[in-house]
Chains A and B, each alone.
Chain A
Amino acid sequence: MKTEPVHQGRLESPFYSRLKALDTVNEWHQWKGYTAANELYCADTEYFAIRNATAVFDLTPMTKYRITGPDACAYLDRLVTRDMTRLAPGRVAYAAWCDDQGHVIDDGTIFHLRDGDYRLCAQERHFGWLQTATIGFDVTVTHESDDVAALAVQGPTSYSVMNKLVYGGLDDLKPFGLKHLRFQGNDLMVSRTGFTGDLGYELWIDPSQAEALWDALFDAGREFGIRAIGTDALEMARIEAGFIAVYREFLPADETVRSGRARSPFELGLGWLVDFTKPNFNGRRALAAEMRNGSTWRLVKLDIEGNKPAGDAYIFPKRSRNRHSIGFITSAMWSPVCKKNIALGTVRAPYGKPGDTLWVEIYYQREMHWSRKMARAVVVDQPFWLPERRRATPPGPF
């Protein structure tokens, strides 16, 4: 009997050859079994491609599940906190799913590809939970992470790039919409989604077509400043957009050990995703109780004075540190595009209402010596970066 050799070491994405060709710094890490670039030449420059031109990010290692069967909609509706019955074919929904205790297992996007045929994308793997959730439903969950190659094409000129790539037809594609197109005789799915808080698209194609798509995309994008980016640049854009990330703002509930370390959607600023008009969904009873009794934690977006990034800082209610800290920073950066010192953090409720002033304790090093600074931090309720074009249809050229 002939056996397939078992792959050893990190997998290479179908775009690996193209990324490797552009790579000058050799900074890679492991992402869900794949090797992924931290940066290809310079994270800061790559970041400016996201904000000023078009950035291309390989998101093939993202976890993807295909959900099909007569009960697919009912299944998803019970799984996530949002109302899935209203997600029409050709639409995408950002959603979070919880365990019975109302703690977030993960968040992700659900693509209603065709009638009753869904794709769920997430950062982490959740096959066990998704499989368990099928009990009592006529539905099939298939792991297809390795069977779909995916690229994020993000930035102000991405509309122009895409228009050139697929010869138009994207004018009516609204945010969180998707379209099935043809690319060189093969299926190409394009969705207007992304993780940068800006105008952008995600492209989904069979891995065999990956390199051809990449080449055509870069041909189309040359005049629009297209650049490949790594995860470091994307992380900066993610914080500016105010998006939460797993292992930063929260841990998957099924991976926490200590009591109180998991977070509910309310505690992550995702209360808007929780639809109590649905009679039943995972976590509903616990979340209803939390609505009545109040949450323990609150996610805050902070606009901090000064220019020293507040990474890992403690948060205090007053400038004097005599009081106990009320929380901590989970993600922080100096935002070049906002010209602001921004951060995401977790504080104990009821602290952290929009407009509140909190204080963060920032440590920084100057020529070996450490200094400390208490910096004023104002809680804001809007994303730090929210350009008009993100929501405009058609977005138009830049």
Chain B
Amino acid sequence: MTELAGGKWDAIVVGAGHNGLVCAALLAQAGKSVLVLEAEQQVGGAAVTRELTEGFSVSPCAHLLYQLQPEVCKELKVSPTLACEDLATIALSRQGNHVRIAGNAVTGVTGADAEQFRRFRKRSLRFARLLRGVLNRAPPRLGTSDWRDVLSLARMGFDIRRLGRDEMREFLRIIGMNIHDEVTERFANPLLRGAICLDAVLGTHLGPRSPNTMFTYLYRLAGDGGRNAVPRGGMGMVSAVLAQAARSAGAEIMTATPVRQIVVENGRVTGVETEAGELFSSYTVISNADPKRTVMRLVGARHFETGFIKRVHHLRSHGNAAKLHLALDGLPHVDGLAFKDFGERLLIAGDEHYVERAFNPAKYFEFSTAPVIEVTFPSIHDESLAPPGKHVMSAVVQYAPFALKDGWTEASRQRFLDIAMTTIAEYLPGLEQQVIASELLTPADIETQFHINGGHWHHGELALDQFLFVRPVSGAAQYALPLDGLFLCGAGAHPGGGVSGAPGRNAARTILKRERVR
């Protein structure tokens, strides 16, 4: 503990999620005294590794690395060790006719579909690059005459225009569209259609027919071309590397120190108070927590104006994805799947209708009776996660609405676990006989365990009306909240969720830039 503990810090970061760590590290690199306060014993927030049962570990929230921004790695001089860099995606078939997608190539489909996919992917990547351009910049403010905003906006327009007339029109045509229309126009193979639909809706409250699912699909590709990696040691290792970078830059990180409130005096932030009643002072407090928790709970609605509170109140932030973790004695034999294929990303999404039907109950606050599932066996690539010969499974199971009609009770959780297990057993028969231990985290559990209001990956639904200039809400889209000294740096801020480090980096840059202007 430095002598600054009770004194004035240049900045305090609430929450040591990966974005909080990136933000803290960058501020510390710029010579600021930075304190990071984390509620849990370990850093990482939703990017952690923890023991499932003796000898078995999983990444209990985020489980694949597909968006970590090269800019973040470069500036912090970190490079997390990857156990596997580029997972293929396998859309599972009950009959063993699995469809395998690796980069541009699809196997298990007709030549026409393969060719169509190659073109679809090429164009999607082109559009995704456009999105990537905005991920690493704070969104410009609209309606100002500040040259930086105007320039930034002009650059965005120029990037779109540079696609060329036809491609620009195409981009503007599809960006608000649904993924269902796109895949049914293009592909004959139902599994291929289902797999693309699943990628578009994973982690959202959207079905394939919901508007702007083309956008969510592109967002997933924007980070790193949609390449999925398994970090060695689980997601917690990524956070550990970031924490190390923050510490060596001079940031102080205190774990097991939950923050009770962000202290406001005379209309400006002056520090934070921990649950233990300890006060830490700083005129700059950066919240890695989600916008609703930050505004409504940590600060309090009374410190903001009514219009802003209304927008935060209406922020859509109810999660829909459950996490299923299994400790396995071994792997079953499945038709058409070689041992190493278990190491890829396995999808259960029969076709676009299967995904839509899985979504239907969620509209009425009920969970799917035939859920869509993204299955991974990280222990195939990383033997540190399970004892020799044994394995762990980490799966995202959708849809499990946060606000379940009758609430998440032990009974409803068990029912959904049974449904998930039955569904998996249909596609990976024999898996259920290998189970040593299991754990299902509903969005309600994710809320309590990871301190995310609504248990939403993205801290707030990722949709065009909650993106860019209006993420999380208008009036807070440039990381600064309408309360002097208070900033957001988490997934709720632009650009959104995923272990990208982009919101954290953008927030740090914004804070440093404001200082220079002043």
Q: From the candidates B265, B267, B307, name the one contacting A100 in the complex (CB within 8 A).
A: B307
Q: How far is the CB of A365 from chain B (nearest CB, A)?
A: 45
Q: Would you call A282 an interface residue if the criterion is a C-beta within 8 Å of the partner chain's C-beta atoms?
A: yes
Q: Are B305 and A135 in contact (CB under 8 A)?
A: no
Q: Are B302 and A285 in contact (CB under 8 A)?
A: no
Q: Would you call A137 an interface residue if the criterion is a C-beta within 8 Å of the partner chain's C-beta atoms?
A: yes
Collect the chain B residues with CB atoms within 8 Å of residue A135's CB.
Answer: 301, 306, 309-310, 313
Count of A interface residues, CB-CB < 8 Å: 20
Q: Would you call B361 an interface residue if the criterion is a C-beta within 8 Å of the partner chain's C-beta atoms?
A: no
Q: Are A280 and B307 in contact (CB under 8 A)?
A: no
Q: How far is the CB of A394 from chain B (nearest CB, A)?
A: 40
Q: Are B475 and A100 in contact (CB under 8 A)?
A: yes
Cα–Cα, bound, A328→B301 (Å): 40
Residues of A with Cβ closer than 8 Å to B? 71, 74, 78-79, 99-101, 129, 132-133, 135-137, 279-285
Q: List 16 A-B contacts (CB under 8 A).
A: A71-B302, A99-B307, A100-B475, A100-B482, A132-B309, A135-B313, A136-B296, A136-B300, A136-B301, A279-B266, A280-B267, A280-B303, A280-B305, A282-B305, A285-B305, A285-B482
Collect the chain A residues with CB atoms within 8 Å of residue B303's CB.
Answer: 279-280
Q: Are A284 and B267 in contact (CB under 8 A)?
A: yes
Collect the chain B residues with CB atoms within 8 Å of residue A71's CB.
Answer: 302
Q: Are B302 and A280 in contact (CB under 8 A)?
A: yes
Q: Are B306 and A78 in contact (CB under 8 A)?
A: yes
Residues of B with Cβ closer than 8 Å to A? 264-268, 296, 300-310, 313, 475, 482
Collect the chain A residues with CB atoms within 8 Å of residue B482's CB.
Answer: 100, 285
Best-buried of B304, B308, B475, B482 by chain A (most CB within 10 Å): B304
Collect the chain B residues with CB atoms within 8 Å of residue A100's CB.
Answer: 305-308, 475, 482
Q: Are B307 and A282 in contact (CB under 8 A)?
A: yes
Q: Are A282 and B267 in contact (CB under 8 A)?
A: no
Cα–Cα, bound, A66→B275 (Å): 36
Cα–Cα, bound, A101→B307 (Å): 9
Chain A: which residue is nearest B297 at the CB level?
A136
Cα–Cα, bound, A293→B317 (Å): 37
Supposing A279-B264, A279-B266, A285-B482 touch, asked if A132 and B310 sit within 8 A by C-beta, the answer is yes
Cα–Cα, bound, A285→B313 (Å): 20
Collect the chain A residues with CB atoms within 8 Å of residue B304's CB.
Answer: 280
Cα–Cα, bound, A99→B308 (Å): 10
Cα–Cα, bound, A129→B482 (Å): 20
Cα–Cα, bound, A100→B302 (Å): 13
Collect the chain A residues with CB atoms within 8 Å of residue B308's CB.
Answer: 100
Q: From the candidates A74, A129, A132, name the one contacting B302 in the complex (CB within 8 A).
A: A74
Chain A: which residue is nearest B268 at the CB level?
A279
Cα–Cα, bound, A135→B264 (Å): 18
Task: List 9 extra interface pairs beyond A135-B310, A137-B301, CB under 8 A.
Answer: A71-B302, A78-B306, A99-B307, A133-B309, A137-B302, A279-B265, A279-B266, A279-B267, A284-B305
Q: Are B306 and A99 in contact (CB under 8 A)?
A: yes
Q: How far is the CB of B298 from chain A (nearest CB, A)?
A: 12
Cα–Cα, bound, A278→B345 (Å): 56
Cα–Cα, bound, A12→B38 (Å): 62
Cα–Cα, bound, A79→B303 (Å): 11
Q: From the candidates B264, B266, B267, B306, name the one contacting A133 in the complex (CB within 8 A).
A: B306
Cα–Cα, bound, A207→B269 (Å): 49
Cα–Cα, bound, A318→B231 (Å): 77
Collect the chain A residues with CB atoms within 8 Å of residue B313's CB.
Answer: 135
Collect the chain B residues with CB atoms within 8 Å of residue A281's CB.
Answer: 305
Say whether chain B's binding surface is mostly helix, strand, loop, or mixed. helix
Q: Are A136 and B302 in contact (CB under 8 A)?
A: yes
Best-buried of B265, B300, B305 by chain A (most CB within 10 Å): B305
Collect the chain B residues with CB atoms within 8 Å of residue A137's CB.
Answer: 301-302
Top 5 A-B pairs, shortest CB-CB distance: A136-B301, A279-B267, A100-B307, A133-B306, A100-B305
Chain A: which residue is nearest B304 at the CB level?
A280
Cα–Cα, bound, A281→B264 (Å): 14
Best-buried of B304, B306, B309, B475 by chain A (most CB within 10 Å): B306
Supposing A136-B296, A285-B482 touch, asked if A78 and B302 sit within 8 A by C-beta, the answer is yes
Q: From the candidates B268, B296, B306, name the one contacting A282 in the complex (CB within 8 A).
A: B306
Q: Are A283 and B305 in contact (CB under 8 A)?
A: yes
Cα–Cα, bound, A280→B484 (Å): 11
Best-buried of A101, A136, A281 by chain B (most CB within 10 Å): A136
Collect the chain A residues with CB atoms within 8 Å of residue B306's CB.
Answer: 78-79, 99-100, 129, 132-133, 135, 282
Cα–Cα, bound, A101→B304 (Å): 13
Cα–Cα, bound, A279→B267 (Å): 4
Collect the chain B residues with CB atoms within 8 Å of residue A99's CB.
Answer: 306-307
Q: How far is the CB of A53 from chain B (nearest CB, A)?
A: 44
Collect the chain B residues with CB atoms within 8 Å of residue A132's CB.
Answer: 306, 309-310
Cα–Cα, bound, A55→B298 (Å): 53
Q: How far is the CB of A371 from chain B (nearest CB, A)?
A: 45
Collect the chain A residues with CB atoms within 8 Å of residue B296's CB.
Answer: 136
Collect the chain A residues with CB atoms within 8 Å of residue B265's CB.
Answer: 279
Cα–Cα, bound, A74→B301 (Å): 11
Cα–Cα, bound, A339→B300 (Å): 54
Cα–Cα, bound, A129→B296 (Å): 18
Cα–Cα, bound, A285→B310 (Å): 17
Q: Are A136 and B267 in contact (CB under 8 A)?
A: no
Cα–Cα, bound, A143→B253 (Å): 51
Collect the chain A residues with CB atoms within 8 Å of residue B264's CB.
Answer: 279
Cα–Cα, bound, A284→B300 (Å): 17
Best-buried of A79, A100, A101 by chain B (most CB within 10 Å): A100
Chain B: which residue is nearest A101 at the CB level?
B307
Chain A: which residue is nearest B311 at the CB level?
A100
Cα–Cα, bound, A39→B301 (Å): 47
Q: How far is the CB of B146 from chain A (nearest CB, A)?
A: 14
Chain A: which residue is nearest B299 at the CB level?
A136
Q: How far is the CB of B174 from chain A (nearest CB, A)?
A: 33
Q: How far is the CB of A391 from chain B (nearest CB, A)?
A: 34
Chain A: which residue is nearest B308 at the CB level?
A100
Collect the chain A residues with CB atoms within 8 Å of residue B301's CB.
Answer: 135-137
Chain B: which residue is nearest A276 at the CB level?
B267
Cα–Cα, bound, A191→B296 (Å): 38
Cα–Cα, bound, A83→B262 (Å): 24
Collect the chain B residues with CB atoms within 8 Å of residue A285's CB.
Answer: 305, 482
Cα–Cα, bound, A282→B264 (Å): 17
Cα–Cα, bound, A100→B303 (Å): 13
Chain B: which residue is nearest A285 at the CB level?
B482
Cα–Cα, bound, A281→B305 (Å): 6
Q: How far is the CB of A97 from chain B (nearest CB, A)?
A: 9
Q: How far is the CB of A263 from chain B (nearest CB, A)?
A: 17
Cα–Cα, bound, A27→B305 (Å): 43
Cα–Cα, bound, A100→B476 (Å): 13
Cα–Cα, bound, A367→B399 (Å): 79
Collect the chain B residues with CB atoms within 8 Å of residue A129's CB.
Answer: 306
Best-buried of A132, A135, A282 by chain B (most CB within 10 Å): A135
Chain B: which residue is nearest A132 at the CB level?
B310
Cα–Cα, bound, A74→B300 (Å): 12
Q: How far is the CB of A101 from chain B (nearest CB, A)?
A: 8
Chain A: which residue is nearest B303 at the CB level?
A280
Cα–Cα, bound, A135→B311 (Å): 11
Cα–Cα, bound, A132→B308 (Å): 10
Collect the chain B residues with CB atoms within 8 Å of residue A282's CB.
Answer: 305-307
Cα–Cα, bound, A236→B484 (Å): 46
Q: How far is the CB of B473 from chain A (nearest CB, A)?
A: 12
Q: Are B309 and A136 in contact (CB under 8 A)?
A: yes
Cα–Cα, bound, A133→B302 (Å): 9
